[in-house]
Structure 1
Amino acid sequence: MRSIQTDQQPMLPVPHATTPFWRTDLDELDGHRSTADLPAECDILIIGSGYAGIAASYHLLVGEESKAFAGKKVVLLEARQACSGATGRNGGHVRPSVYSRLPRYIEEYGLEAAEQFAQFELDHVNAFADLVKREGIECDFEFTRSFDIYTDPEQAAVAKANYLKLKEAGVAKSTIDDLEWTDADRAEEVSGVRGCVGCFTFTAASVWPYKLFLSLLKLTIQKGLNLQTHTPVTSICPTASPSGLWTAGTPRGPISAKQIIFATNGYTAFLLPEYAGKIVPCRGICSRITCPPSSHPPKIDKTYGLRLPKGSYDYLIPRKDGSIVVGGARSAFFSDPSEWYNTVDDSTLIGSAAHYFDNYMQEHFIGWEDSGAKVEQIWTGIMGYNADGLPSVGEVPGREGCFVRRGLRGMGCRGLWGMLGGEAFEETDVPGMFKTTRERLESERDDLRGK
């Protein structure tokens, strides 16, 4: 039978990736293999050990949904080390990205669908908190408020106008009441950001992502998960074997499965070529900034999203140790797609952004001018961006038993587990606009490049 592969250059994770701060204190499971040999078969195969893959294993084997999957053999394959991709390379935010997108979603999909999306994402902050508390996980989880900073007066005016329109449109109080706007006359004082002409604040949280997900991985292994790191999947092909519908090829041999969850982020199109140009691997950059012990700049106790001049959108969290994790730098490299678009190389820095963060705190935060803040670590990571700006969730069109879960940021989603158990997408709690469909795969829409 014909192997389902792309004809393009292989897009597997590269070796020797840059080292993110989050992966400087490695867990004993980082390179773990539950069995010396790769199992020949399983019921459910998960490809990818980042957020989506580990969350899937947790829900299947530990969470309240696990009763429906009792006795199922679950295997998780990872090309590199556990949590070595985007989940171990991000900014540490648990931050709903709702309000700036709501006006567009209301216009395109209607008020009811937009509210479903908003509530779905907002619920995830509390879902994270509940999970961390329930499982007793030490991962620096902190509830906080988050700033969305505007430095351009026109952008600020549009943001405020949209906020007022949302209130007039009757957006649910549970969504809109958490949002607070500050005008230009107090924006710098309230936010601490130089040049701020307007800002929102809303509920969010921060976390050490690697520690959170390695703790979840430990729980799932105790419940029977077979984890196999350093085992890239190089092909997927249908099989006539009674033990499964699909066979995954790896350098260590094949494994057949009845169902496959593709938690493959920016690498999805390598195994599912219909997602080429639909889920695009894009490179980002992030850093950790520290101050000398003698320095005592103003305390930062909220997380940030900063909309800065030249189209930059940066994100920032303060940490308990006094350091700052900040990423983004879009204005430094976005104009050159060769630096970031359709690449999986996280082994090198984005050259034009390598020094973007050198004086970041001094330039943007009031009272940090003489702080001596400097970049302690800097790294890159690969994100899977959907061309139409929406997550892709559900059974892959035309591939029975294959499920994709790309772009969901919350532990609260039970939709995929229902689908694995036979529920229709429409019976789940996943917003309808997220469904991966033939129409979306055939669409020429490309928000990434403005087409």
Structure 2
Amino acid sequence: MGSINPHQIPPSPLPSKTSTTPFWRASLHALDNHRTTPSLPQTCDILIIGGGYAGIAAAYHLLASPEAKAKFASGAPKPNVVLLEARGACSGATGRNGGHLRPSVHTRLPMLIEEFGLEKAVELCEFEDAHVSAIEEVVEREGIECEFRVTRSFDVYTDEEEAGRAKETYLRLKGEGVAKSTMEGLVWMEGEEAEKISGVKGCVGCFTFSAASLYPYKLLTSLLHITHTTGNLNLQTNTPVTSLTQSSPPTSLESSSNTWTASTPRGTITSPQIILATNAYTSALLPEYTTKIVPCKGICCHIVPSPSCTPPELVNTYCLRLYGGSHDYLIQRPDGSIIVGGGRSHFLGHRGEWYNNADDSSLIEPAKCYFDTYMQDHFTGWEESGAKVQEIWSGIMGYCSDGLPHVGEVPGRKGVWVAAGFEGHGMPVIWLTMRGVVRMMDWGSWEGSGVPRVYETSRERLESGRDDYRAKV
């Protein structure tokens, strides 16, 4: 593979006008293509750009969460919030993921400890772990039907050498007493026991830990509906933002006033506060993130067994670390069908198919047949299941040059907030991140936000020449 000069990478384009259809979006919510008002409002108190997980979570925490309601009950004014989405609600990565709510930091702990120290590494682990109970709580409180299920997840190794390294790291960290709260829920199994319990052929070792599975589109569109009923959210779908300009800069260094204008094909809207929940597409509006958050294409599918067969139930979720570099992710839905994505081993060497590729209107050609006999090949008892791919789709993830999301007020852009670059791992990260962003906007400080400090966007990160992800591939 030839090297790519990062300075030659152009800013991300906007989301493609057409896209492959994911299983999750087979039945659309009433708000999917909704516009609260026929015309685009000219102004608002807070403008959110991006109608996926991050944008909807921000709107909910601003207007409909218990924290927001308590604030309004004490006399604080409700902000007028506008949410702009380039296509339909949850039409991007949120409506295309694997249905996993799977905290997974243990494999990165040694690197995180080495780079940031034990305290910050543990902070990150506990933050991801907290998402299982946080999402469970909101699902129960709001009465949302979204196939939410708390379970265990298997992290499966099929390579002896890789499994050995994972076990050695686990035992070393556990022996050193690293973060009891982080390690105590993590269980290691190996050999025949691991293959038998996981049900994965060729499994030589695996971790299990707490996780959950869900129907992401139903969760987020339900939260969007709840927030919309507050009357203070104006939703405008099919309204891409083409540029963001500072229309009223501060008059002095001491001045805190600031106004930003977002341009769309339907007109402009001005606001003093902007939240960019644009993930892979962030650099289209903030060019300083061009080499820091890069759009990367992935592939996922829905597999259905034959009606005449009842293969073994998979009570847990999975990450399968297979030969060739595939780290596939998998859940079983309540109806017995399977959502599985990954297939990296079949397309990683074809850089143009996925790297800096923001087009989800087509599949990744080298991997489009990867899942055809996936369950029969990898799971015991599924050999005669007749399982076949019913829907297959692509999605665009935002990968970061240093492996961590960018969160917080954008350096040099007062009033512009970013939460992006979740690397296909947003489900156990975004919910509490957006709660934290809303707190930062209210309090003017990172302290008390609850967001890991290593996520903070900064001029140092933006100016760094680091690019871990390209080094790996």
Asked if 1 retains the 8 angstrom alpha-carbon contact of 2:12 and 2:281, the reply is: no
Aligned residue for 2:218, secondary structure, equals: helix
Aligned to 2:457: 436
Code of the aligned partner of 2:59: S
Aligned to 1:235: 243
Aligned to 1:339: 353
Q: In structure 2, how many angstroms separate the alpha carbons of the residues matched to 1:47 and 1:220? A: 16
Q: Deviations over 1:105-128 (max 9, x none)?
A: 011111111110111110011001
Aligned residue for 2:30, secondary structure, equals: coil
Q: In structure 1, how many angstroms separate the alpha carbons of the residues matched to 2:109 and 2:80? A: 40
Aligned residue for 1:118, secondary structure, equals: helix
Aligned residue for 2:272, secondary structure, equals: strand
Aligned to 1:56: 58
Asked if 2 retains the 8 angstrom alpha-carbon contact of 1:278 and 1:387, the reply is: yes
Aligned residue for 2:107, secondary structure, equals: coil
Output the TM-score relative to the length of structure 1.
0.96
Residue 86 of structure 2 corresponds to residue 74 of structure 1: no
Code of the aligned partner of 1:126: S
Q: In structure 1, how many angstroms separate the alpha carbons of the residues matched to 2:187 and 2:237? A: 44
Cα distance, 1:97 vs structure 2: 1.6
Asked if 2 retains the 8 angstrom alpha-carbon contact of 1:65 and 1:417, the reply is: no
Aligned to 2:115: 108
Aligned residue for 2:57, secondary structure, equals: helix
Asked if 2 retains the 8 angstrom alpha-carbon contact of 1:426 and 1:432, the reply is: no
Aligned residue for 1:171, secondary structure, equals: coil
Cα distance, 1:70 vs structure 2: 3.2
Asked if 2 retains the 8 angstrom alpha-carbon contact of 1:47 and 1:261, the reply is: yes
Q: In structure 1, how many angstroms separate the alpha carbons of the residues matched to 2:35 and 2:405? A: 30
Output the TM-score relative to the length of structure 2.
0.92
Q: In structure 2, how many angstroms separate the alpha carbons of the residues matched to 1:335 and 1:158? A: 25
Cα distance, 1:10 vs structure 2: 6.1
Asked if 2 retains the 8 angstrom alpha-carbon contact of 1:289 and 1:323, the reply is: yes
Q: In structure 2, how many angstroms separate the alpha carbons of the residues matched to 1:7 and 1:235? A: 19
Code of the aligned partner of 1:230: N
Q: Which range moves more in the overlay, 183-192 or 146-155?
A: 183-192
In the alignment of these two chains, the number of paired residues is 446
Cα distance, 1:36 vs structure 2: 0.6
Cα distance, 1:198 vs structure 2: 0.1
Aligned residue for 1:75, secondary structure, equals: strand
Aligned to 1:141: 148
Cα distance, 1:9 vs structure 2: 6.8
Q: In structure 2, how many angstroms separate the alpha carbons of the residues matched to 1:24 and 1:92? A: 15
Q: In structure 1, how many angstroms separate the alpha carbons of the residues matched to 2:243 and 2:20? A: 26
Aligned residue for 2:147, secondary structure, equals: coil
Aligned to 2:4: none
Asked if 1 retains the 8 angstrom alpha-carbon contact of 2:55 and 2:83, the reply is: yes
Code of the aligned partner of 2:456: K
Q: In structure 1, how many angstroms separate the alpha carbons of the residues matched to 2:9 and 2:295? A: 16
Q: In structure 1, how many angstroms separate the alpha carbons of the residues matched to 2:30 and 2:320? A: 36
Asked if 2 retains the 8 angstrom alpha-carbon contact of 1:290 and 1:322, the reply is: yes
In the alignment, structure 1 segments of 5+ residues that lack a partner are 1-5
For 2:182, which of 164, 167, 175 is the aligned residue?
175
Aligned to 1:270: 284
Cα distance, 1:419 vs structure 2: 1.2
Code of the aligned partner of 1:258: P
Aligned residue for 2:13, secondary structure, equals: coil
Residue 141 of structure 2 corresponds to residue 121 of structure 1: no
For 1:283, which of 284, 297, 300 is the aligned residue?
297
Asked if 2 retains the 8 angstrom alpha-carbon contact of 1:41 and 1:244, the reply is: no
Percent sequence identity over aligned pairs: 59
Q: In structure 1, how many angstroms separate the alpha carbons of the residues matched to 2:448 and 2:222? A: 31
Aligned to 1:377: 391
Cα distance, 1:8 vs structure 2: 3.8
Residue 261 of structure 2 corresponds to residue 247 of structure 1: yes
Asked if 1 retains the 8 angstrom alpha-carbon contact of 2:52 and 2:94, the reply is: yes
Q: In structure 1, how many angstroms separate the alpha carbons of the residues matched to 2:447 and 2:233? A: 29
Q: Which range moves more in the overlay, 400-409 or 424-433?
A: 424-433
Q: In structure 2, how many angstroms separate the alpha carbons of the residues matched to 1:349 and 1:7? A: 22
For 2:419, which of 405, 409, 414 is the aligned residue?
405
Pair 40,241 (structure 1): closer, same or farther in 2 beyond 3 Å = farther
Q: In structure 2, how many angstroms separate the alpha carbons of the residues matched to 1:225 and 1:172? A: 41
Asked if 1 retains the 8 angstrom alpha-carbon contact of 2:12 and 2:282, the reply is: no
For 2:199, which of 148, 170, 192 is the aligned residue?
192
Pair 236,410 (structure 1): closer, same or farther in 2 beyond 3 Å = closer
Aligned residue for 2:106, secondary structure, equals: coil
Residue 427 of structure 2 corresponds to residue 419 of structure 1: no
Aligned residue for 1:144, secondary structure, equals: strand
For 2:327, which of 313, 319, 330 is the aligned residue?
313
Aligned residue for 1:230, secondary structure, equals: coil
Asked if 2 retains the 8 angstrom alpha-carbon contact of 1:38 and 1:252, the reply is: yes
Code of the aligned partner of 1:231: T
Asked if 2 retains the 8 angstrom alpha-carbon contact of 1:244 and 1:256, the reply is: no
